[in-house]
Amino acid sequence: MTAVTSWGHQLAAAKRLVVKVGSSSLTDRQGALDTRRMGVLVDALAAARNRGQEVVLVSSGAMASGMAPLLLRQRPQDLAGMQAAAAVGQSLLVGRYSTLFAKHGLIVGQVLLTVEDVARQGHYRNALRTFTRLLELGVVPIVNENDTVATHEIRFGDNDRLAALVAHLVVADALILLSDVDALYTAHPADPSARRIAEVADCDEVDAEVSQAGSSVGTGGMEAKIHAAGMATASGIPVLLAAAQQADQAIRGEDVGTFFHPNGKRRRRKLLWLAYASKTQGELVLDPGAVRAVTQRNASLLPAGILAVRGDFHAGDPVQLVSENGKVLARGLVNYDSSELPLLIGRKTADLALAFGPEFNREVVHRDDLILRKKPSQP
């Protein structure tokens, strides 16, 4: 056992962990589920549970699991083929997990998510209730994208991003990304000059070799993992990238993999959803004064600062705030229907209250329901 690092204490002390594992870490060379590999992972997660940590597992492998029974030698390229392989493989994957966790006296629960489940606020709340209850009951949630109904247009893209969104949803204390790559390197790992990057302070300034693509049975690559790490760390969640066979050392906070330091503050769930999971329903075009007020003074958006309204939305929907030249500045929850706003834009709230009643003396987007882009561009 290696020593726990200075940052490793954050992992070892994490009350709630989200752990993601890729397809290639769960299957053999033929693409079939590898019970030995899965057993190593389950043993590490069970040990964490025995230490009092809550664990949510985001597991790839459904589509890969269905390939062998269907006698498929490579990942299907057509949508129907992918959905069929996932339909066959999902039950095999969760069944194997159920057997392995049962040896430790633990029960698993399958949670299949689509983009709609996190993009719509009502669905997001429902998913949160499910996770909360499962964890209260001592169940290990096993999460995957619902590949059997997802389409190319409404996919998370890879389970690294899904894992980051789940980490936000359950307010995890840490996110661990496990794959067949053990860390970030300064050059390709096959290069003798390559050196492991032990820590990353800012995902936007990563100077690493990221050309490695996902495996033949997976969808994610190193860039996807860095993007997922950026999503989590920007909201105060530390991330560790490590090899699946190092799962136990990673969870214990030992000196393995690459650690991404959190560089943002913890936000309310609603703002996390707004920033990373919501699907905007329209746009509000801001004049230069409103741009400065929103981006520099942390002010609410008032009708007087709006130049135009685009899209069809209702009060409570997420919308984008953009400058005159189309630069996206922020996202926010709007307080008016799109049909109401054309009569209000460019006018002061006090004048609107006199003309239409006191209920119109309110912000279009309140500053507490607004989140700026990480590095907003100036118009």
Per-residue pLDDT of the chain (379 residues; tens, 9 = 90+): 556 677 888 888 899 999 999 888 888 777 778 889 999 999 999 999 999 999 999 998 888 788 878 888 777 778 788 888 888 888 889 999 999 999 999 999 999 887 667 767 777 788 889 999 999 999 999 998 775 555 443 344 568 888 988 998 898 999 999 988 899 998 888 888 889 999 998 877 776 666 554 444 444 478 888 988 988 898 889 999 999 999 999 999 999 999 999 987 666 667 777 777 678 899 999 999 999 999 999 999 999 999 999 999 999 889 999 999 999 999 999 999 999 999 999 999 888 888 888 888 889 999 988 988 865 433 3
**Which amino acid is residue 178, in one-letter code?**
L
Specify the DSSP element, H or E, that contains 370.
strand 370-372
Write down the pLDDT at residue 81: 83
Burial 244-262 (b: 16+ CB within 10 A, else e): bbbbbbbbbbbebbbbbeb
Which of these, 363, 126, 164, 272, lies nearest to 156 by C-alpha position?
Answer: 164
Residue 165 φ/ψ, nearest 5 degrees: -65, -40
Domain at 280-372: CATH code:
2.30.130.10
Question: What secondary structure does DSSP assign to 268-325, as a single string?
Answer: -HHHHIIIII----EEEEEPHHHHHHHHHS-PPB-GGGEEEEEE---TT-EEEEE-TT
Q: Take residue 73 and report the two structure tokens written for it.
A: 């030698």
**8-271 matches 280-372 in fold:** no
Q: Indicate the domain borders of the chain.
A: 8-271, 280-372
**What's the rounded Cα separation, in Å, for the pair 220 and 203?**
17
**What's the rounded Cα separation, in Å, for the pair 72 and 293?**
57
Write down the pLDDT at residue 222: 81
Architecture of domain 8-271: 3-Layer(aba) Sandwich (3.40)
Question: What secondary structure does DSSP assign to 191-213, as a single string?
Answer: STT--EE-EES-GGG--S---PP
**What's the rounded Cα separation, in Å, for the pair 89 and 81?**
12
